[in-house]
Chains A and B, each alone.
Chain A
C-alpha cells in the first residue's frame, strides 16, 4: 500500500505525460502480483466498493471533527479524500502493526458492507499516514484525479512490458481486475488470453476537430454529427454488450439493445432515443435532453423503456460474418454496412445518412442549418481510411457548428475542485427578466467553470472575494456587476432553473470586464433559441 500511495502522490505532482508513463511503468515492473493488477484497476477507475461512499468518509469525520471546521476545510481543500486524510487524528501506535499490502486493503474494502464500513474503515485509517489514507480513500471511493486516463495506463502497461498498446487494449476490456492473465501474458511470457466467444470492446476510431481549412469532398464523405452517445455494439458467443466511448460496459442501461442483434458483429454508431428532433431514415430521434435520463442507470423501468426507447444509428462496421473489416477502406465498410441494414430490425437500428453536397462551400451552407435539427455539426471521413484506434491525423474530422453566445451576469460563485481547488471558479449566471433599468431581476440560466485561463481564474477569485454580498454555506452571492459572454451548444426547457431554461455545454467564452451589467442579455433572447 505504501508503494501505491507513493505512486499516486508522485503522479499528482507530475505534469509531463512521459514522466507519468515512466512512473507507472516502473511501479508495474517492481510491484508483486496481485498488487500491481489492483493498482492498475484503481488508477483506471476499474474498482467499485459500493459500501464506501464519499458520505461514509464524511460521516466518519463528523464524529471526530467539529462539523463547521470540517465544512470550512473541505470547502477550501476542494477534495473530500484529501481533507479527511489531513484531518484524521494521527494514531499513537501507528508503527505497531505491520504495513498492509494493496491486495490486503482491496480484500478488506471488498468485504465491507454499509453496516460494517463505519467500524472497519477507521481501523484501516489508523494503520496509515496521511498519504496512505489519501490513497485508501481515493481507491475506495473512486475519482483518483491524478491525470491518468485509462489510455495512459494502458500505454504505461505496454511500455513496462514492451508489448503493443492496441493488443493490451483489446484484452483489457475482456478481463477483470486484477488482470492476472494480462500480466501472465505481458510480464511472464505466458500465452495470450483466450477471448474467443467473449463480446469484447475494440478501441474506437476518433476524429480531429477541423479548425480551419477545407477538405476535398472527392476524398471525404460527410455525415451529420448526431447528438447522442457514441457506442459500440458487440455480439460474440451469442451475447450482446453495449460499450461507451471509454470502453465501459453500459449494457445494463440499455437492455432493449441486448436482444436485437441477430448475428455476431462489432458495430459503431450513435445511441439515441426516439423522438422527432434529429431526423433519420426510420423516424427521428429526440434531443440529447431526452437521452440524458437513460444514462448511468443500473436498472431501467418498463415505463422508461416505453417512453424513451433507445436505438442505434449505425455508421461503421468493424467485424461481421467472421471478417475483420478494420483494415478495409471506409468506402468498403460503408457498402458492407448498407448491405447489412436489411438484416437488422428497423425498430432498433437505422443508418446514419451521408450528407451530399456539390462542394465544400455548399456543405458549409448545409452545416449552418444544422442546429434546427439539434445536430452538432458534421463528420468528415476519408473514403480510403481504415478503422484505426485513436485519433489519427487527416482520416476523420469533426466539424462542429460555431457555439451560440449570450451575455450573462455573474450571480453566485463557489470554490472549485481539483485543479481549481480553493479558487472561486464555479459560477452561476443569469439573464434579465425584463428591462434592467426598470427594475428587472436576474434569473439564473446556467453554471460554468471552464473557459478561462489560470491568470483569469485568479482575477475572478479576487473579484468574488471583494464583491461578496452574502454567503450561503460554500456559495457566495456577488454584486451584479460582472458580465460573462457564455458560449453553449443549445438551450432547452428545464425545471432545474428558475428561468425554466438549461444550456448544454455552457462555458465562459470571454470575461467582459468592460461591459456594464445592465447591457447583458434578457431571458427572451435565450428563450428564442430553445430547441426541445
Chain B
C-alpha cells in the first residue's frame, strides 16, 4: 500500500506523474509531457510526446516548430496515461487553449492549473471550478495589493488617451500570446473599429487566434505604414519593443503597457510606462483566494509567484498548503 498522493511528485524541473512516467509543464525535454498552455515557461519543444489541447498544440507548432508526437485532447475529454493514471483537460481561462489538467489515480484527484484567471476573456474558454483533493495553483499575483480592475475601465483609459492625443499614437506593450489578442478583442468590444497596428512579432499569433474563431478586426503591420497613417492610432507590440529602437518609427508614441504589474507605480516607472493598464491574464489575489475556497481541496500546492503570501492566507483560513520550488517559471511580462 503506497502513501496517499505518492504517485505525484514535484521536482525542480516540473511535476512528475510517477506511474505513467510523464511530466507536467517540464522545463527541459522529456519523453512524455502534459502541457497546460503555450507560454514559453510552460511549453517547450523537444519532448518525445506532447499531450495538450488542440489550440495549445497549434500554438506550440507555431512558436517552437514542434509537431512530432502531438496528442490532442479536447476540453472535457480524458486520456489514459498508463500506470492507472488518467488526465482530463479543463478550461483555465488564461489564454487560447489553456487548460487545467485533472489527474486521477486510485480514486485520488489532483488538479494542476498551469496559469489561470477568473475574469471574463473573449479569446478563451472560462475557468471551470472542479472538485479535487490536491489543487496545484499558480500565485503570480499572490499578494493582496494585486487586484485587477474590470478590463472595461482599463480599455476606457486607453481610448481616452487616444482621444486626447490625436497627433500621437498609443503604443501598447502586451505579451504576444494571449494579452495582445485579448486587448484587441476588448477594444473591438468597446466599439473601436479602426485599424490596429501590429509589431511584426504579433502577426502570426493573431492569425492563429482568428483561425480559432477569435475575431480581431482590421489588423495591419507597422512596417507597412507611414508615420502619418499611425497618428491617432493604437499600436500593439511585445513589451520588449517598447523602449527599443523599433519604436522610433512611431509618431510621438505614448507608451502604455497592459500588465498586472502596472498596479504598482514603481513597476510602471521602471519600464518607462506613461499609461499603465492593469490588465492581466493571471488570477489576482481575490481570484486566487476565491478559487481555492470554491475548489475547497484537502491540500493546496503553490507552484510559482508570490507563494509566501498565498501560503499565509491558507494558514489563516486553516487550509493545508505547501510551496513547490519549481525552476524556470518567469512572469515578468504579464
List residues of chain A with CB under 8 Å of any chain B CB.
Answer: 9, 12-15, 65-66, 68-69, 72-73, 76-79, 82-83, 86-87, 418-423, 454
What's the Cα separation between A419 and B143 when bound, in Å? 20
Q: Which of A13, A79, A421 contacts B273 (CB 8 A)?
A: A13
Contacts of B309 in A (CB 8 A): 68-69, 72-73
**3 nearest A-B residue pairs (beta carbon):** A421-B266, A86-B145, A72-B309
User: Knowing A72-B308, A76-B143, A87-B144 touch, does A419 contact B269 (C-beta < 8 A)?
Assistant: yes
Residue pair B143, A13 in contact (C-beta under 8 Å): no
User: Knowing A14-B274, A72-B306 touch, does A422 contact B267 (C-beta < 8 A)?
Assistant: yes
Residue pair A73, B145 in contact (C-beta under 8 Å): yes
B263 beta carbon closer than 8 Å to chain A = yes
What's the Cα separation between A454 and B266 when bound, in Å? 13
Contacts of A72 in B (CB 8 A): 143, 306, 308-309, 312
B248: shortest Cβ distance to chain A, in Å? 16
B245 beta carbon closer than 8 Å to chain A = no
B268 beta carbon closer than 8 Å to chain A = yes
Residue pair A77, B145 in contact (C-beta under 8 Å): yes
User: Knowing A76-B145, A79-B266 touch, does A13 contact B276 (C-beta < 8 A)?
Assistant: yes
What's the Cα separation between A419 and B266 when bound, in Å? 6
Contacts of B106 in A (CB 8 A): none
What's the Cα separation between A66 and B264 when bound, in Å? 20
B270 beta carbon closer than 8 Å to chain A = yes
Residue pair A69, B276 in contact (C-beta under 8 Å): no
What's the Cα separation between A72 and B274 when bound, in Å? 27
Residue pair B267, A15 in contact (C-beta under 8 Å): no
Residue pair B269, A12 in contact (C-beta under 8 Å): yes
Residue pair A12, B270 in contact (C-beta under 8 Å): no
User: Knowing A13-B273, A66-B316, A72-B312 touch, does A83 contact B267 (C-beta < 8 A)?
Assistant: no
B323 beta carbon closer than 8 Å to chain A = no
B154: shortest Cβ distance to chain A, in Å? 14
**Nearest B residue to A81, CB-CB:** B265
What's the Cα separation between A418 and B270 when bound, in Å? 9
Contacts of B273 in A (CB 8 A): 13
Given contacts A12-B269, A73-B145, 7 further A-B contacts (CB under 8 A): A13-B268, A13-B276, A15-B272, A68-B312, A72-B143, A418-B266, A419-B270
**Nearest B residue to A72, CB-CB:** B309
13 contacts between A and B (CB under 8 A): A12-B269, A13-B273, A13-B274, A13-B276, A14-B274, A66-B316, A68-B309, A76-B143, A76-B264, A82-B264, A87-B145, A419-B269, A422-B267
B313 beta carbon closer than 8 Å to chain A = yes
Contacts of B266 in A (CB 8 A): 77-79, 82, 418-422
Residue pair B275, A13 in contact (C-beta under 8 Å): yes
User: Knowing A69-B309, A72-B309, A77-B264 touch, does A454 contact B269 (C-beta < 8 A)?
Assistant: no
**Nearest B residue to A85, CB-CB:** B145
**Nearest B residue to A423, CB-CB:** B270
Residue pair B312, A12 in contact (C-beta under 8 Å): no
Contacts of B144 in A (CB 8 A): 65, 69, 73, 86-87
Contacts of B264 in A (CB 8 A): 76-77, 82, 421-422
Contacts of B313 in A (CB 8 A): 69
What's the Cα separation between A66 and B311 when bound, in Å? 13
Size category of the B interface is 20 to 34
Within B139-162, the residues touching A (CB, 8 Å) are 143-145, 147
Q: Which of A9, A66, A420, A423 contacts B312 (CB 8 A)?
A: A66
Q: Which of B145, B275, B306 contacts A83 (CB 8 A)?
A: B145
Kindly supply a per-residue 1/0 record for chain B positions 253-266, scoring 1 wherever the CB is within 8 Å of any chain A CB and 0 otherwise: 00000000001111
**Nearest B residue to A82, CB-CB:** B265
Among B145, B269, B308, B316: residue with most chain A CB under 10 A: B145
**Nearest B residue to A86, CB-CB:** B145
Contacts of B143 in A (CB 8 A): 69, 72-73, 76
**Nearest B residue to A418, CB-CB:** B266
Residue pair B306, A13 in contact (C-beta under 8 Å): no
Among B147, B268, B270: residue with most chain A CB under 10 A: B270
Contacts of A454 in B (CB 8 A): 270
Contacts of B267 in A (CB 8 A): 421-422
**Nearest B residue to A74, CB-CB:** B145
Contacts of B263 in A (CB 8 A): 86
Among A69, A78, A421, A423: residue with most chain B CB under 10 A: A69
Contacts of A418 in B (CB 8 A): 266
Contacts of B275 in A (CB 8 A): 13
What's the Cα separation between A12 and B265 when bound, in Å? 7
Among B265, B272, B275: residue with most chain A CB under 10 A: B265
What's the Cα separation between A387 and B145 when bound, in Å? 51
User: Knowing A77-B145, A77-B266, A86-B145 touch, does A69 contact B272 (C-beta < 8 A)?
Assistant: no
A463: shortest Cβ distance to chain B, in Å? 14
B41: shortest Cβ distance to chain A, in Å? 14
A7: shortest Cβ distance to chain B, in Å? 14
B35: shortest Cβ distance to chain A, in Å? 24
What's the Cα separation between A13 and B256 when bound, in Å? 10
What's the Cα separation between A251 and B144 when bound, in Å? 45
What's the Cα separation between A12 and B313 when bound, in Å? 32
A269: shortest Cβ distance to chain B, in Å? 38
What's the Cα separation between A58 and B313 when bound, in Å? 20
What's the Cα separation between A423 and B261 when bound, in Å? 13
Among A76, A418, A420, A421: residue with most chain B CB under 10 A: A76
User: Knowing A65-B144, A86-B263 touch, does A76 contact B269 (C-beta < 8 A)?
Assistant: no
Contacts of A78 in B (CB 8 A): 266
Contacts of B306 in A (CB 8 A): 72, 76
Among B267, B268, B306, B316: residue with most chain A CB under 10 A: B267
**Nearest A residue to B316, CB-CB:** A66
B48: shortest Cβ distance to chain A, in Å? 29
Among A68, A72, A422: residue with most chain B CB under 10 A: A72
Among A82, A86, A454: residue with most chain B CB under 10 A: A86
What's the Cα separation between A281 and B312 when bound, in Å? 64
**Nearest A residue to B309, CB-CB:** A72
Contacts of A420 in B (CB 8 A): 266
**Nearest B residue to A76, CB-CB:** B143
What's the Cα separation between A83 and B264 when bound, in Å? 9
A202: shortest Cβ distance to chain B, in Å? 34
Contacts of A419 in B (CB 8 A): 266, 269-270
A490: shortest Cβ distance to chain B, in Å? 32
What's the Cα separation between A72 and B305 when bound, in Å? 13
Contacts of B316 in A (CB 8 A): 66
Contacts of B268 in A (CB 8 A): 12-13
What's the Cα separation between A419 and B267 when bound, in Å? 8
Contacts of B312 in A (CB 8 A): 66, 68-69, 72
